[in-house]
């Protein structure tokens, strides 16, 4: 059996003050063939806390006018990826032949201080009590990494510059514009060593994919892998790497040298450094140095940094983006996605191939 990605779409990522979560879901699914769906999986993190709307599976039943089984999955910023994983299990179980996976999030209606607080729902109670934000948590990791391996501001800047360059050719990106060294130099400090351009933005958006169990190969999800870990990043032996990524990457059977294109979780520029090393694209301490010479196309969408990061949608958008890249580029045969929840409390990865 092959798990083929037979449809993929996303809304433009950005500020959609005039659209509801239902509007975004309708927009992401309007061009997909929704006939004969057996099940639907929805990834979302914040609807219950920003809009007081739980029971999202029921909301989707209303939105798409159906009574089929619908499942609402939450795993912080990896909610979308976890929904994809469960969708593949539904197909493998033979309970379903065709499923829809939706990732959707509305974030920009809230002030950023409130969103930063709500995102910490993915962290530990102690982190919340200490008033820690995700930006500070990842900045702390970056500093520990810098102490261990060295890390300059230009190591980070090359990533944001590249992500924005990539986004220029993605009409769905939130920030499809190049940034200059001068802009970076003038960007306000957020949490040392991160300035504004090291941080992914607050974003509204939705993405959707159709997965079908088929006899013939196509653009298909070959494998998925999931790992979990404690929410508190400081509870880990070292904080400059993410064990959940390392475990998930080890479960997938692939060689980084064979990967043509990857969508990796870059909620901060430094997060991409960790991802490259944890997945095996670069030896420990070498990702920044090797970044510009990597053979694999990293984050052609612009990544979380420049395409945007509507948290529950990101994991689905990454799979949709790799499907699109494989469809559009004759030379691409193999891609991966990598989606992290919180500061590493959960991780989803997928290996996607084209026959």
324 in the Ramachandran plot: left (φ > 0), alpha (ψ -120 to 50) or beta? alpha
176 or 310, CB closer to its own copies? 310
121 or 158, CB closer to its own copies? 121
208 or 242, CB closer to its own copies? 242
- The reply to whether 267 belongs to the active site is no
Residue located via tokens 């039943």: 61
- CA distance linking residue 120 with residue 199, whole number of Å: 16
135 three-state secondary structure: helix
- CA distance linking residue 192 with residue 349, whole number of Å: 29
Q: How far is the CB of 88 from its own copies (least distance, A)?
A: 8
- CA distance linking residue 100 with residue 79, whole number of Å: 15
Give the active site residue among 77, 267, 307, 347.
77
Strands 205-214 and 2-10, by their bridges, are antiparallel
Of 135, 275, 299, 276, the residue nearest 202 (C-alpha):
135
Strands 194-195 and 189-191, by their bridges, are antiparallel
Q: How far is the CB of 344 from its own copies (least distance, A)?
A: 9
- CA distance linking residue 120 with residue 110, whole number of Å: 15
Q: How far is the CB of 268 from its own copies (least distance, A)?
A: 18
Q: How far is the CB of 197 from its own copies (least distance, A)?
A: 27
Give the active site residue among 16, 309, 338, 347.
309
CB 62 within 8 Å of CB 26: no
User: Integer distance in angstroms from the first to the last C-alpha of the chain?
Assistant: 14
Helices (H), 228-329: 243-251, 269-279, 287-290, 303-307, 311-328
Peptide bond into 193 cis (omega under 30): yes
Q: How far is the CB of 307 from its own copies (least distance, A)?
A: 23
Q: How far is the CB of 331 from its own copies (least distance, A)?
A: 32
91 or 167, CB closer to its own copies? 91
74 or 266, CB closer to its own copies? 74
What Rg value do the Cα atoms of the chain yield, rounded?
19
60 or 273, CB closer to its own copies? 60
- The reply to whether 85 belongs to the active site is no
Note the residues at the interface with its own copies (CB under 8 A): 45, 48-49, 51-62, 66-76, 82, 85-86, 88-95, 120-125, 128, 226-232, 235, 243-244, 247, 341-342, 345-346
Active-site residues, by number, are: 77, 309
């Amino acid at each position: 059996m092959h798990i083929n990605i037979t449809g993929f779409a996303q809304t433009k990522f950005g500020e959609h003050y005039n659209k509801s979560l239902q509007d975004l879901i309708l927009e992401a699914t309007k061009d997909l063939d929704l006939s004969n769906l057996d099940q639907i999986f929805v990834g979302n993190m914040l609807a219950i806390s920003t809009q007081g709307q739980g029971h999202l599976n029921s909301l989707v039943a209303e939105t798409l006018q159906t009574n089929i089984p619908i499942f609402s999955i939450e795993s912080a910023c990896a909610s979308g990826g976890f929904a994809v994983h469960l969708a593949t299990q539904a197909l493998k179980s033979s309970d379903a032949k065709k499923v829809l996976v939706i990732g959707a999030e509305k974030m920009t209606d809230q002030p950023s201080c409130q969103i930063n607080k709500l995102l910490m729902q993915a962290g530990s109670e102690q982190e919340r009590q200490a008033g820690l934000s995700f930006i500070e948590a990842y900045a702390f990791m970056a500093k520990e990494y810098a102490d261990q391996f060295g890390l300059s501001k230009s190591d980070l800047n090359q990533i944001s510059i590249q992500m924005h360059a990539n986004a220029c050719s993605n009409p769905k990106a939130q920030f499809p514009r190049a940034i200059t060294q001068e802009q970076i130099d003038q960007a306000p400090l957020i949490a040392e060593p991160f300035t504004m351009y090291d941080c992914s933005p607050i974003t509204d958006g939705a993405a959707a994919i159709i997965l079908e169990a088929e006899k013939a190969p196509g653009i298909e999800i070959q494998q998925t892998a999931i790992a979990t870990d404690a929410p508190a990043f400081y509870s880990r032996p070292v904080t400059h790497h993410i064990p959940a990524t390392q475990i998930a990457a080890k479960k997938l059977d692939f060689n980084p040298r064979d990967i043509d294109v990857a969508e990796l979780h870059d909620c901060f520029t430094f997060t991409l450094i960790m991802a490259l090393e944890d997945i095996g694209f670069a030896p420990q301490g070498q990702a920044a140095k090797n970044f510009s010479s990597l053979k694999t196309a990293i984050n052609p969408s612009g990544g979380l940094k420049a395409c945007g990061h509507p948290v529950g949608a990101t994991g689905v958008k990454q799979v949709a983006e790799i499907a699109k890249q494989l469809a559009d580029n004759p030379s691409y045969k193999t891609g991966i996605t990598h989606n992290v929840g919180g500061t590493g409390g959960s991780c989803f990865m997928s290996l996607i191939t084209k026959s």
